[in-house]
A and B are shown apart, each in its own frame.
Chain A
Amino acid sequence: MSFLEQKDFIEENDTVILYLSPSSMHAINVREMMKNKKGELIEYIFQTSFGALKVKSLIGVRYGNKVELSRGHAYALQPTPELWTNTLPHRTQIIYTPDISMILFQLDVKPGNIVIESGTGSGSLSHHFLRGVKPNGHLFTFDFHEARVEQAKVEFTNHGVSNFVTVTHRDVIKDGFTEELNGKADAIFLDLPAPDKAVSHAFKALKSSGGRFCSFSPCIEQTQKVCEELQKHGFTEIQSMEILQSEEIVKMRSVQIMDLDFVRTKKILTTCDIELNDNKKHSKEVQKIITSSAPQILPGHTGYLTFGTLSPIFAR
Chain B
Amino acid sequence: MLENPPKIKIGDFIILQRQKYMKLHKFGNIESSAALGKDQLELRNIEGHPYCSTFKMIPKETRGRQRITALELCSDKDMQDIRDIMNNAESGADNRNIKDDGGSQKLGNEEILKLREDIGDSKKIIGTLVENSTSFQSKTVYSQEKYLKRKEKKYFEYVQIRQPSIRMLAEIFYRQDPDKIMGLRIDSLSQIISYSDVNAFGKFLLFESGTNGLLPAAFLNAIGSGTKGKLVHMHPGNVPQKQAIQALNLPQEQLDRCVSVNIYSVLREFYQGKEEEKANVEEETEESAAKRPKLEEGENNTDEKSKSDEKVKPDEKSQKWKLENKKACDLMKEKFDSLIVVSRDHPLNIVKELLQFIKPGRPVIVFNLSKELLMEMYVELKMLSTVTNLHLTSNWMRYYQILPNRTHPEVQMSGNSGYILRGTSIN
CA distance A112 to B201 in the complex (A): 13
A interface bracket (residues with beta carbon within 8 Å of B) = 35 or more
Q: Which of A19, A77, A128, A208 has most B Cβ within 10 Å? A: A77
Contact of A136 among B222, B226, B379 (CB under 8 A): B226
B223 within 8 A of A: yes
- Residues in B with CB closer than 8 Å to A82 are 194-195, 197
- Please state if B399 and A239 are interface contacts (CB–CB under 8 Å): yes
- Please state if A64 and B392 are interface contacts (CB–CB under 8 Å): no
- Please state if A241 and B200 are interface contacts (CB–CB under 8 Å): no
CB within 8 Å for A209 and B166 given contacts A5-B202, A75-B361: no
CB within 8 Å for A224 and B361 given contacts A19-B388, A64-B427, A97-B191: no
- Please state if B194 and A128 are interface contacts (CB–CB under 8 Å): yes
B187 within 8 A of A: yes
CB within 8 Å for A135 and B201 given contacts A101-B194, A220-B407: yes
A150 within 8 A of B: no
Instruction: Say which one of B2-10, B30-38, B95-103, B343-351 lies at the interface with A.
Output: B2-10
A111 within 8 A of B: yes
- Please state if B424 and A243 are interface contacts (CB–CB under 8 Å): no
- Please state if B392 and A112 are interface contacts (CB–CB under 8 Å): no
A132 within 8 A of B: yes
CB within 8 Å for A105 and B193 given contacts A5-B199, A66-B427: yes
- Please state if A208 and B2 are interface contacts (CB–CB under 8 Å): yes
Instruction: Say which one of A46-54, A172-180, A308-316 lies at the interface with B.
Output: A308-316
- Please state if A245 and B394 are interface contacts (CB–CB under 8 Å): yes
CB within 8 Å for A242 and B194 given contacts A5-B199, A110-B221, A111-B227: no
* A308–chain B nearest beta-carbon distance, Å: 11
Number of A-B contacts (CB under 8 A): 201
Residues B355-392 near A (CB distance < 8 A): 359-363, 371-372, 375-376, 378-379, 388-392
Q: Give A240-256 as 1s and 0s: 1 = Cβ < 8 Å from B's Cβ atoms.
A: 11111111101010000
- Please state if B376 and A64 are interface contacts (CB–CB under 8 Å): no
B138 within 8 A of A: no
Q: Give B274-318 as 1s and 0s: 1 = Cβ < 8 Å from A's Cβ atoms.
A: 000000000000000000000000000000000000000000000
- Please state if A243 and B402 are interface contacts (CB–CB under 8 Å): no
Q: Give B172-198 as 1s and 0s: 1 = Cβ < 8 Å from A's Cβ atoms.
A: 000000000000001101110111010
- Residues in A with CB closer than 8 Å to B3 are 183, 207-209
Contact of A244 among B225, B390, B395, B427 (CB under 8 A): B395
- Residues in A with CB closer than 8 Å to B195 are 82, 97, 101
- Residues in B with CB closer than 8 Å to A239 are 399
A123 within 8 A of B: no
- Please state if B194 and A290 are interface contacts (CB–CB under 8 Å): no
A102 within 8 A of B: yes
- Please state if B389 and A111 are interface contacts (CB–CB under 8 Å): no
Q: Give A122-164 as 1s and 0s: 1 = Cβ < 8 Å from B's Cβ atoms.
A: 0000001001101110000000000000000000000000000
Contact of A112 among B225, B360, B363, B395 (CB under 8 A): B225
Of chain A, the residue at the smallest CB distance from B372 is A290
CA distance A304 to B391 in the complex (A): 25
B122 within 8 A of A: no
A43 within 8 A of B: no
Of chain A, the residue at the smallest CB distance from B377 is A250
- Please state if A247 and B388 are interface contacts (CB–CB under 8 Å): no
- Please state if B389 and A242 are interface contacts (CB–CB under 8 Å): no
- Residues in B with CB closer than 8 Å to A80 are 197, 363
CB within 8 Å for A183 and B1 given contacts A110-B221, A111-B227: yes
Contact of B190 among A22, A81, A105 (CB under 8 A): A105
Q: Which of B221, B224, B399 has most A Cβ within 10 Å? A: B224
CB within 8 Å for A292 and B392 given contacts A6-B337, A105-B186: yes
- Residues in A with CB closer than 8 Å to B1 are 183, 208
Given pairs A76-B361, A102-B187, A246-B395, 15 additional interface contacts (CB within 8 A): A19-B388, A66-B427, A77-B424, A101-B191, A101-B195, A105-B166, A134-B201, A209-B5, A228-B404, A241-B399, A245-B395, A248-B394, A250-B375, A313-B2, A315-B53
**CB-defined A-B contacts under 8 Å, sample of 16:** A5-B199, A5-B202, A80-B363, A97-B194, A101-B194, A104-B190, A110-B221, A112-B225, A135-B200, A209-B3, A241-B398, A250-B392, A292-B392, A304-B400, A312-B4, A312-B50
The residues of B with any CB-CB pair to A shorter than 8 Å are: 1-5, 50-54, 160, 165-167, 186-187, 189-191, 193-195, 197, 199-202, 221-227, 337, 359-363, 371-372, 375-376, 378-379, 388-400, 402-404, 407, 409, 419, 424-427
The 9 closest A-B pairs by CB, nearest first: A64-B361, A111-B224, A64-B360, A5-B201, A105-B190, A101-B190, A101-B194, A209-B3, A240-B400
The residues of A with any CB-CB pair to B shorter than 8 Å are: 4-6, 8, 19, 22, 62-66, 75-78, 80-82, 97-98, 100-102, 104-106, 108, 110-112, 128, 131-132, 134-136, 183, 207-210, 220, 223-224, 227-228, 238-248, 250, 252, 290-292, 304, 306, 311-315
